Amino acid sequence: MTANPVASARFAGLKFPIYMDNHATTPVDPRVLSAMLPYFTETFGNAASRTHAYGWTAEAAVDDARDTIAQLIGAESGKEIVFTSGATESDNLAIKGVAEYYKAKGNHIITTTIEHKAVLDSCKRLEKDGFSVTYVNVGPDGLVNPKDIEAAITDKTILVSVMLANNEVGTIQPIAEIGKLTRARGIIFHSDAVQGLGKTPFDVRAMNVDLASLTAHKIYGPKGVGALYVRRSKPRVRLSAQMDGGGHERGNRSGTLNVPGIVGFAKACKIFIEEGVAEAEKIRALRDRLYKKITAELDSVVLNGSAEHRLPGNLNISFAFVEGEGLMMAIKDVAVSSGSACTSASLEPSYVLRSMGLEEDMAHSSIRFGLGRFNTEEEIDYVAELVIAKVKRLRDMSPLYEMHKAGIDIKSIQWAAH
């Protein structure tokens, strides 16, 4: 077996497994946790209680949180923030809520093939209810072309939904350009901004975004709390509520507010307002260091998605001739994810990579490294050495790499699909 860099004294201080799956979720920042704690035990009131100080204190904390979250996304007012249980609920509320409210106006929705399942499956549900949905494909760089959105618009189009940044390949979509198109035609524009929030410039007013899905747990806040930005003026966006009950959140989303979660969400946003730009640079440098080290030692490594329009923490690469799940097993000291079929319940490789036109074998060979706030240079160096050693080992075991080295074109072989 190839020497494992674990043995090296240089890496004696590291804690395993090293977390590099920050697109999946992030740890709660200790500053966020401290801000939340009093709201569990001392100021535990229900923000909807109007008759006593417990309720007033909770409501004030929630309203402060709205303002902070609004500030991070450039919203006009905290009143435009509707709290939810997370981005899946926000996506459902935005898409189904708009479709139901505006159905008299039109029945056509435009989205992209690389959206999160919460968007795609909401659209699929609406198709069963008589709506028509256009799924715009992306280019090989993982970017949506605004012209393709424009071409899909009909006089029946009521909603366009395009994510700010993709969760697999980290590509940052041309939201401002799409916003111009939709605004000029009076079409509502929703963006699932979960992955890009705080990490890439996002301004709902400058970009003409009307609805934006947000979540706390991707920005070092707690799980189980999210928000939907709902524009209140120019134009005012209306939704049909998807949850019936006490009429909380101006009737948009009933349910007692998760006050500690909301306070944590706001604190997480506050940290990004203050430190986001510097942090993005730091993480980008770590990401580039990892990529350079890997490509300096390994041939046949392909970066998936645009290098330029990309989240600073995202590195999605395919190691040709090595299967992704097999590689993850070899680098189990690192928590990452793969576009390989073997990691999904459906046994289908990543639909995002397939939409980009990636060959299936390269989709099977992809690994997503998601770097975050708490990764260090030492971790990067360790992971680079580990990946290099293990890819070499697996390629020594790979019949495809042997054929490639012998000059055989793997595509020329008649493979029997199974």
Residues with catalytic function: 342
x/- letters, 275..314, toward another protein (CB under 8 A) = ----------------------------------------
CB of 343 to another protein, least distance (A): 8
Using CA atoms, how far apart are residues 90 and 212, in angstroms rounded to an integer?
8
- Long-range (24+ apart) CB contacts under 8 A made by 202-205 are 202/73, 202/74, 202/164, 202/175, 203/73, 203/74, 204/73, 204/74, 204/75, 204/229, 204/231, 205/74, 205/75, 205/76
Q: Which of 15, 345, 407, 412 forms a contact with another protein (CB under 8 A)?
A: 345
CB of 116 to another protein, least distance (A): 23
Q: Which stretch binds another protein (CB under 8 A): 207-215, 222-230, 253-261, 317-325?
A: 317-325
Q: Which of 6, 275, 402, 408 forms a contact with another protein (CB under 8 A)?
A: 402
396: contact with another protein by CB under 8 A: yes
Q: Which of 359, 373, 378, 392 forms a contact with another protein (CB under 8 A)?
A: 359
Q: Which of 6, 53, 397, 408 forms a contact with another protein (CB under 8 A)?
A: 397
CB of 324 to another protein, least distance (A): 8
Tokens coding 323 = 């299967």
Q: Which of 313, 349, 370, 372 forms a contact with another protein (CB under 8 A)?
A: 349
326: contact with another protein by CB under 8 A: yes
Q: Which of 274, 360, 376, 405 forms a contact with another protein (CB under 8 A)?
A: 360
399: contact with another protein by CB under 8 A: yes
Using CA atoms, how far apart are residues 239 and 211, in angstroms rounded to an integer?
10
Looking at beta carbons only, is 3 or 296 nearer to another protein?
3
3-state secondary structure of 281: helix
Using CA atoms, how far apart are residues 293 and 387, in angstroms rounded to an integer?
10
Looking at beta carbons only, is 37 or 413 nearer to another protein?
413
Using CA atoms, how far apart are residues 255 and 196, in angstroms rounded to an integer?
27
Using CA atoms, how far apart are residues 410 and 412, in angstroms rounded to an integer?
5
364: contact with another protein by CB under 8 A: yes
Parallel, antiparallel, or unpaired for β 157-161 and 132-136?
unpaired
Q: Which stretch binds another protein (CB under 8 A): 185-193, 275-283, 307-315, 339-347?
A: 339-347
- The residue among 408, 186, 200, 206 whose CA lies nearest residue 313 is 200
416: contact with another protein by CB under 8 A: yes
Q: Which stretch binds another protein (CB under 8 A): 199-207, 225-233, 251-259, 325-333?
A: 325-333
361: contact with another protein by CB under 8 A: yes
Site for another protein in 170-199 (CB under 8 A): none
398: contact with another protein by CB under 8 A: yes
Using CA atoms, how far apart are residues 291 and 65, in angstroms rounded to an integer?
37
Query: What residue has token string 């509520």?
Result: 241
Looking at beta carbons only, is 264 or 324 nearer to another protein?
324
The answer to whether the Cα torsion of 322, 328, 329, 332 is positive or negative is positive
Question: ∠ CA 29-270-15 to the nearest 5 degrees?
Answer: 20
Count the residues in the chain: 418
Helix (H) or strand (E) holding 181: helix 175-185
Q: Which stretch binds another protein (CB under 8 A): 95-103, 258-266, 290-298, 340-348?
A: 340-348
- Burial class from Cβ neighbours inside 10 Å (0-12, 13-18, 19+) for residue 128 reads exposed
CB of 218 to another protein, least distance (A): 24
Q: Which of 3, 12, 104, 417 forms a contact with another protein (CB under 8 A)?
A: 417
Provide the terminal-to-terminal Cα distance of the chain, rounded to the nearest Å: 31
Residues lying near another protein in the complex (CB under 8 A) are found at: 1, 321-323, 325-326, 329, 340-343, 345, 347, 349, 359-361, 364, 396-402, 410, 415-418
